[in-house]
Structure 1
Amino acid sequence: MPNRVDQYAIGIDIGGTGTKYGLVNHRGDISYRGSNIRTNEYDDVNDFVDDLYKELKPSIDAVGIENIKGIGVGAPNGNVYTGTIDFAPNLPWRGVIPLAKMISDKFGLPCSLTNDANAAAVGEMMYGAARGMRDFIVITLGTGVGSGIVSNGMLIYGHDGFAGELGHTIIRPGGRKHEGTGAHGSLESYASATGIVLTAKEMLQQTDKPTLLRNYPLEQIDSKLVYECAMQGDEIAQEVYRFTGQILGESLANFIMFSSPEAIILFGGVIKAGSLILDPTKEHMEKNLLNIFQNKVKLVLSELKEADAAILGASALVWEKREV
């Protein structure tokens, strides 16, 4: 029998556009990776599972199926208790999809499934910045805002499997409308890459100050452009990040007073702005904490490579000890 490091887990990350997958050992070494599956091209989930199997079968045969402990899947609206994807708005399959069972039946291996942000938290605990920690929160800042909360060494799933949607908490009551949910004032509508673009456009309309952003049509402004202008010293672009950091910091203060984590780990494209967003985030986080929480919680960046993080997070579900 192989020892633990000779065993493998398959990690699968299902996104609205593409699906990434890989074969990972217990140390987090990825011996095979792929991303040839375009999720949005599969109207029938059965065809999706069939092609996923075809992509992974050569690597499974290479190491021997007896040396693979299982499959972990991170997916939008993934329910860890039922193994289903429930009404995911950005996937082509409607309703409740029993994906874990479908994958398990096709591959002949046990399959665990949860949402992508929870998978990221397990990945950080297994391979990344949260190794050795028992209480922490992972916040993913990309197109949206995701989160995974670990308390006393266990990921918090809640009674129905959907706990930890911190991105959809209301932090500006009556504020900006979130087009996907219809909610007003949610964290995701401000602190995501999408939110940064909306803030930039609002600031352009609210001030006559000169800015590099005015050199571009409104429809061409994206988060990358805002970042590039901010790095060139543009005051409006830098103010976008200061405002975003303020809202994120205020929100993190609430999350800290709820669960008292050892650290908050930030991950995703938005944090590439570095001190432009991290400094105001830290300032407003500390400013809004009760003194018993101040200067106790580390604000750290993910240690997982962005290109590998989704696969590592999903594969870590296989090794996770979980009580359900």
Structure 2
Amino acid sequence: MATHHALGIDIGGSGIKGAPVDLDKGRFAEDRLRIATPEEATPDAVCEVVGQIAEHFSVGTDVPLGITLPAVVAHGVVRSAANIDRAWIDLDADRLFSERLGRPVHLVNDADAAGVAELHYGAAKGHRGLVVLTTLGTGIGTALIMDGVLVPNTELGHLEIDGHDAESRAAESVRDREGLDWEQWAERLQVYYSHLESLLRPDLIVVGGGVSKQADRFLPLLDLRTEIVPAKLRNKAGIIGAAHLATRGN
């Protein structure tokens, strides 16, 4: 099979990262480029940075471009805003990026992109049934995949548990801010993942985000019926998943 590429760009609260992706192998075709997210992450400011990244790689306009956003995205329209300006809400971002970049784009929620990447190239490859990916970072992002099909925009990091938004108690940023040790944090994760398990009965849980590289410090402390494993692609997953979705749709 001939190698084919797409460009993936991952918009985060602190950095905007992009790279061409070899879709046959599920890995970067060139070193990624990272540019700091503008302090005021308005649509215009973010679009300017995305354009710089796209131009850096000199890929033709015929190369598909996928973009992640830390937000609910429905048919290219942004319906929420996390770590970006609220001016994004109700914006047709597909149209904005397409017009500014002079090429078609596919916009997707960042956790959904990571879940699709892990399904096709990472820790969930070959798994059937219900797979739940969670990204532990500034908040808790989630992706729900049933028999290889993405159910988009699940936002299960915002489940209310014991009167609290789940991510306000169990995100990795909370561990850092409150100075929790691994055992203390694992107690909070236990509550969260047990709740997910009782609601969904998944076949596999994949844990992503930068902290997944230290999964051996906290995953063994959890007691679940469901198999729970660290993500393999880690912080590359958003870029890879966005590129994949730009060409294949799920």
CA-CA distance at 1:111 after TM superposition: 1.5
User: For 2:188, which of 216, 222, 244 is the aligned residue?
Assistant: 244
Residue 20 of structure 1 pairs with residue 51 of structure 2: no
User: Residue 209 of structure 2 aligns with which residue?
Assistant: 268
Residue in 2 that maps onto 1:298: 227
Question: Match of 2:221?
Answer: 280
Contact 2:71/2:80 (8 A) holds in 1: yes
Per-residue deviation at 1:276? 4.0
Match of residue 60 from structure 1: 58
User: What's the offset of the Cα at 1:141?
Assistant: 0.9
Compared CA separation, residues 4 and 73, structure 1 to 2 (3 A): farther
Task: Show structure 1 runs of 4+ deviating over 4 A.
Answer: none
User: In the alignment, which residue of structure 2 is the partner of 1:116?
Assistant: 110
Contact 1:100–1:111 (Cα < 8 Å) also in 2: yes
1-structure distance, mates of 2:189, 2:44: 42
Which of the pair is proportionally richer in helix? Answer: 1
Contact 1:245/1:279, CA 8 A, preserved across alignment: no
- Give the structure 1 partner of residue 160 of structure 2: 170
Deviations 1:136-162 (A, max 9, x none): 1101111211100001221113xxxx3
Q: What residue identity is the alignment partner of 1:117? A: A
Residues 144-193 of structure 1, C-alpha deviations (whole Å, 9 max, x = no match): 11100001221113xxxx3x111111222x3xxxxxxxxxx222122212
For 2:90, the equivalent position in structure 1 comes to 96
Change (3 A) 1:15 1:238: closer
Change (3 A) 1:51 1:187: closer
Q: Any gaps of 5 or more consecutive residues in structure 1? A: 175-184, 202-220, 227-236, 287-296
Match of 2:33 in 1: 34
RMSD: 2.5
1:193 and 2:187 matched: no
TM-superposed deviation, 1:76: 1.6
Contact 1:140-1:267 at 8 Å conserved across structures: yes
Q: What residue number does 2:77 align with?
A: 84
Higher relative contact order (CA 8 A, sep 6+): 2
1:254 to 198, 219, 233: 198
Contact 2:204/2:228, CA 8 A, preserved across alignment: yes
Question: Secondary structure in 2 aligned to 1:130?
Answer: coil
- Cα 1:240–1:84 change in 2 (3 A) is same
**Cross-structure match for 1:145:** 140
> Cα deviation per residue 1:17-50 (whole Å; 9 max; x = unaligned)?
221111112122312321125233554x335324
- Calculate the TM-score normalised by the size of structure 1: 0.68
User: Would the aligned equivalents of 2:210 and 2:234 in 1 still touch at CA under 8 Å?
Assistant: no
Identity of aligned residues (%): 28
Deviations 1:6-25 (A, max 9, x none): x2211111112221111112
> What is aligned with 1:313?
241
How many residues are matched?
246
| Aligned partners of 1:19 and 1:39 also within 8 Å | no
Contact 2:139 / 2:167 at 8 angstroms: preserved in 1?
yes
3-state SS in 2 of match to 1:131:
coil
Where structure 2 has 5 or more consecutive residues not aligned to the other structure, the ranges are none
CA deviation map 1:192-227 (0-9, x unaligned): 1233256xx5xxxxxxxxxxxxxxxxxxx4xxxx4x
What is the deviation of 1:51? 4.1
2:168 partner letter: S
Cα separation, 1, equivalents of 2:47 and 2:247: 22
What amino acid is aligned across from residue 233 of structure 2 in structure 1? Answer: L
1:109 to partner: Cα distance = 2.9
Q: As a proportion of its length, which structure holds more strand?
A: 2
Amino acid at match of 1:105: E
Residue 146 of structure 1 aligns with an amino acid whose one-letter code is G
Q: Report the counterpart of residue 214 of structure 1 in structure 2.
A: none
User: What is the distance in 2 between the residues matched to 1:247 and 1:17?
Assistant: 28
**Secondary structure at the counterpart of residue 12 of structure 1:** strand
Task: Name the CA distance, whole Å, in 2 between partners of 1:90 and 1:42.
Answer: 8
TM-superposed deviation, 1:58: 4.4
